[in-house]
Structure 1
Amino acid sequence: MIVELVVENFRSIKEKQRLSLVKSNFGDADNNSFNPLAPGTSDLLKSAAIYGANAAGKSNFILALSTMQEIVIMSAKDRQRGYNLPVQPFKLCDSTIDEPTEFEVTFIADSVKYQYGFSTNSTQITAEWLYAFPNGKPQRWFIRVLDPETSEYVWDFGSYLMGKKQLWKEATRSNSLFLSTAIMLNSEQLKPVYDWFYKTLKLSGISGWNMEYTAKLCQKNESKEHVLNFLKAADLDIDDIRVDTKKMDKTYFPDELPASIKEKMLEELEGEEFHEIKTIHKTSSGKNMSFDLSDESDGTQKIFAFAGPWIDSLNKGKVLFIDELHDSLHPSIVKFLVSLFHDKKTNPNNAQLIFTTHETSILDQNIFRRDQVWFCNKEKNQSTSLYPLTDFSPRKGVENLEKAYLTGRYGALPLISALEYIGE
């Protein structure tokens, strides 16, 4: 479960921006919120939608968390000394271009709230911190700060963190996280923090997921039934799915591909498995007709790719971040996907969905609480600002949110000017 995300000086995000999933005091329906049963934590929201113009920076919030996840998971494994970290500061201001990027996320794992973050430039971690709230009160587990004068780290370990702290400290490279290093060296106490990034947090860009996860589910009868139910609920006329596992060989490549390229690719890929996915439809006479999944519409392919992660996340209480959820999907399908997170029957473990979208038809107070809607705006200095709908105190059950947004009441719209000359 995620409580809050904070990002500063990352790509179009200049000033510190905050996305909160904490339920507000607005008297809206409680179906879209839940009690996380963690000491010191308020009720949380099951979903949040982020609206904004193209190039306003919506995607950068998802990219920021994706970058944070990548550094957590990979920094101790694959980042050799001197390897650059994948961050990019706000470049349109002299005061930020040489400053570090900061990420912080507050989340709940195993019924304990954690507040973890770090700041970094492309060459080294400049600060890292972790607080835990097992009893509702903050416990400092560790703080690490780079002293710019000595280029050495100042460390502060709280008494609550157990284990071989000195060993982990000495093994932590300047471009690696202490959290990742300690996990690699068998810290049991820090596993819930690391596992939240590795197992619970799931992110997808505009292209969505590939088909592999859903395809694997379709190879087992019980889980395939869940996928088919998902597809039928989304009004896809698919009666069955057939998945064949094949090994890579020369027949996989098109005939027109030069033999030399085929041989080179086979050296790298030969023996690897891939899935051939077929959708089964009923003909007018009741016979089965199979199609390659690639022959289906873009929307059908995207829903199929979503099915596995959606089912898995709802069953296991994961946190999904999706960029441009509406892409290639009908508004009714978007509403259907969101509603699965709001329904206690389909979301018994309080999974959460955070997504960016341009689909305004779902901006409805019957779908969202007012505190679930956020806006992303591009400021005059070309930086990104993020703010909630609740800043405007919309009247419950009275204000038409879609109309108000499209007429500019909440900002976060493109400023379109007339085009006077288009050329010959």
Structure 2
Amino acid sequence: MLLEFSVENFLSFKQKNTLSLVSANIAGHEEDNVFTINDYELLKTAIIYGANASGKTNLIKAMRFMKNMVMLSSKESQSGEAIDVEPFKLSIDTHDQPSEFEIIFIYKKVLYRYGFTVDSQRVYQEWLFYLPNNQSEEIELFERRFENETETISLAKPFKEGEIAKTLKIRKNALFLSVAAQLDDSGIAGQMMEWFRNGFKVLFALEPDAYENFTLKKLKEPDDKQDILRFLKAADTAIENIEVVDIQAQNLPQELPKGLKGFLVSSAKAVMTEHRLFNNKGETVSSVLLSMTENESEGTKKLFALSGSIIDTLKNGEVLIVDELDAKLHPLMMRFILNLFQDKETNPHNAQLIFETHDTNLLSPRFFRRDQIWFAEKDPQGATDLFCLAAFQLEQDDSVNKDSVYKTDYFQGRYGAIPLIGEFALAF
């Protein structure tokens, strides 16, 4: 379960900004969207609004960077490579300073607070604290610092024991946590790696192949396949069945080189959807197979691509972050997906969904509490500021209440985070 994610000096984020899924003490709000774990009241969903180029996607890129850094930095293939991190470039104070990332989450009833600072050349700081369920104060597990050309790593139990304690010389572009997880995959570092790998999913609208491949893997499991089919039927796609078939040689262009054609035949797959075939009386007489790529709508293709990640997240109580979730989807499809996460019956394990969108139909107290609604806005110097709608009530007594029409107030600029459109005329 995600509590907080913070980023500083990365892409459009100059100052430290934090997205929190810890619920605020807001009177008059339904509690359906809140759950309790380890005495924390957390939110099931969070939605982020803002103008184009306001930094919404950059927040999700920051989450993906942190995940990839944890997952990949210890691999030998990364040795000697520059770290692909991009600091805020519109200030002379930040462009040569390291970027900072920190995350707080609960996994298997243990709270972890983990973070690091990096630039393109090295890791400068790295820290890990945890709070077991029976403790009242968090405990430091390790701290790593690079100062005055010297690196130090201080360890506490259980990192002070075994093979991990011998690993005090870490590549400058690798994370200590990642190396520790390789040495002890059953310990705390291994548990954290497991959460980053499986429990913290980050998806981008412009990269559908990545999450579609995950769905294709799920189709190989009978139970998962049935869940995917039920999901697509509930979404009114009229798909009765899905089959993944090998691409046959006769379906490929004849002019392809023989070697390339052989490679494609051995590795390429086609997703086929089964639909009912009707007679002129509207009666089902048979079925027909259609190509997902050629015959299904863009919305259906996206629902299919997302279905594996959505279902896996719900079944396992994980965290799903999606950039531009509403792209190509009907507003009712957005409500359908949102309800899956906010309904106790379809989300019994309290999975969490975070997404950014321009769909203002969802900007309503019917769907979200104020502490679930976030805005991203750039200041005059180009730096992103991330803030929550709940803050407005704290600043202006009851200026935003349950009966307010959030959508109207948003378009009127009451919350900010909207484009400031100027005049334009063609030059003749």
State the TM-score, normalizing by the size of structure 1: 0.92
Inter-partner Cα distance in structure 1 for 2:157 and 2:313:
35
Match of 2:34 in 1: 33
Match of 1:307 in 2: 307
Q: Deviations over 1:174-230 (max 9, x none)?
A: 110000111112252321111111111101112364333333433444332222221
Q: Deviations over 1:290-316 (max 9, x none)?
A: 210112111010011111111111000
Unaligned runs of 5+ in 1: none
- Report if the CA contact (8 A) 1:140-1:160 is conserved: no
Per-residue deviation, 1:35 = 0.7
**Equivalent position SS for 2:40:** coil
Match of 1:226 in 2: 227
Q: Deviations over 1:73-120 (max 9, x none)?
A: 110014543211110001111110000011000001110000000000
**2:135 matches 1:140:** no
Residue identity opposite 1:389 in structure 2: L
Match of 2:69 in 1: 71
Inter-partner Cα distance in structure 1 for 2:98 and 2:232:
45
Return closer, same or farther for 1:22/1:120 CA change in 2, 3 Å cut-off. same
Match of 2:331 in 1: 331
Match of 1:19 in 2: 19
RMSD: 2.0
Match of 1:189 in 2: 188
Return closer, same or farther for 1:305/1:81 CA change in 2, 3 Å cut-off. closer
Inter-partner Cα distance in structure 2 for 1:99 and 1:141:
26
**Equivalent position SS for 2:375:** strand
Return closer, same or farther for 1:179/1:7 CA change in 2, 3 Å cut-off. same
Per-residue deviation, 1:137 = 1.2
Return closer, same or farther for 1:391/1:313 CA change in 2, 3 Å cut-off. same
Return closer, same or farther for 1:404/1:78 CA change in 2, 3 Å cut-off. farther
Match of 1:364 in 2: 364
Inter-partner Cα distance in structure 2 for 1:94 and 1:266:
54
Runs of 4+ in 1 over 4 A off after TM superposition: 248-253, 264-267
Residue identity opposite 1:232 in structure 2: K
Identify the match of residue 48 of structure 2 among 40, 47, 50.
Answer: 50
**Equivalent position SS for 1:374:** strand
Return closer, same or farther for 1:208/1:280 CA change in 2, 3 Å cut-off. farther
Residue identity opposite 1:104 in structure 2: E
- Report if the CA contact (8 A) 1:239-1:282 is conserved: no
Inter-partner Cα distance in structure 1 for 2:277 and 2:98:
58
Inter-partner Cα distance in structure 2 for 1:176 and 1:65:
18
Moved more, 159-168 or 372-381: 159-168
**Equivalent position SS for 1:43:** strand
Match of 2:287 in 1: 288
Return closer, same or farther for 1:251/1:381 CA change in 2, 3 Å cut-off. farther
Inter-partner Cα distance in structure 2 for 1:250 and 1:127:
54
Match of 1:297 in 2: 297
**Equivalent position SS for 1:410:** coil
Inter-partner Cα distance in structure 2 for 1:92 and 1:360:
30
Inter-partner Cα distance in structure 1 for 2:289 and 2:79:
52
**2:345 matches 1:345:** yes
Unaligned runs of 5+ in 2: 394-398
**Equivalent position SS for 2:168:** helix
**Equivalent position SS for 1:30:** coil
Return closer, same or farther for 1:152/1:254 CA change in 2, 3 Å cut-off. farther
Q: Deviations over 1:236-280 (max 9, x none)?
A: 222222222x2x7755643344x2xx635856x674353433342
Match of 2:242 in 1: 241
Identify the match of residue 272 of structure 2 among 277, 284, 298.
Answer: 277
Inter-partner Cα distance in structure 2 for 1:220 and 1:177:
35
**Equivalent position SS for 1:164:** helix
Match of 2:409 in 1: 404
Residue identity opposite 1:229 in structure 2: R
Number of residue-to-residue matches in the alignment = 411
Q: Deviations over 1:331-362 (max 9, x none)?
A: 11111101110111100111000000000001
Q: Deviations over 1:128-179 (max 9, x none)?
A: 00000012311000000111x2x12122222453433332222x21110000
Inter-partner Cα distance in structure 1 for 2:226 and 2:164:
48
Inter-partner Cα distance in structure 2 for 1:228 and 1:165:
45
Identify the match of residue 174 of structure 1 among 172, 175, 179.
Answer: 172
Return closer, same or farther for 1:263/1:5 CA change in 2, 3 Å cut-off. same
Identify the match of residue 259 of structure 2 among 234, 259, 263.
Answer: 263
Per-residue deviation, 1:384 = 0.7
Taking the TM superposition and a 5 Å limit, the aligned residue runs for 1:96-107 are 96-107=94-105
Return closer, same or farther for 1:282/1:364 CA change in 2, 3 Å cut-off. farther
**Equivalent position SS for 2:242:** strand
Inter-partner Cα distance in structure 1 for 2:233 and 2:350:
23
Inter-partner Cα distance in structure 1 for 2:145 and 2:374:
33
Inter-partner Cα distance in structure 2 for 1:227 and 1:380:
46
Moved more, 271-280 or 134-143: 271-280
Inter-partner Cα distance in structure 1 for 2:261 and 2:150:
46
- Report if the CA contact (8 A) 2:47-2:374 is conserved: yes
Inter-partner Cα distance in structure 2 for 1:75 and 1:221:
35
- Report if the CA contact (8 A) 2:52-2:419 is conserved: yes
- Report if the CA contact (8 A) 1:208-1:306 is conserved: no
Inter-partner Cα distance in structure 1 for 2:131 and 2:199:
19
- Of all paired residues, the percent bearing the same amino acid is 37
Inter-partner Cα distance in structure 2 for 1:217 and 1:107:
26
State the TM-score, normalizing by the size of structure 2: 0.91
Inter-partner Cα distance in structure 1 for 2:164 and 2:289:
58
Residue identity opposite 1:154 in structure 2: T
Inter-partner Cα distance in structure 1 for 2:172 and 2:32:
46
Inter-partner Cα distance in structure 2 for 1:78 and 1:55:
36
**Equivalent position SS for 2:382:** coil
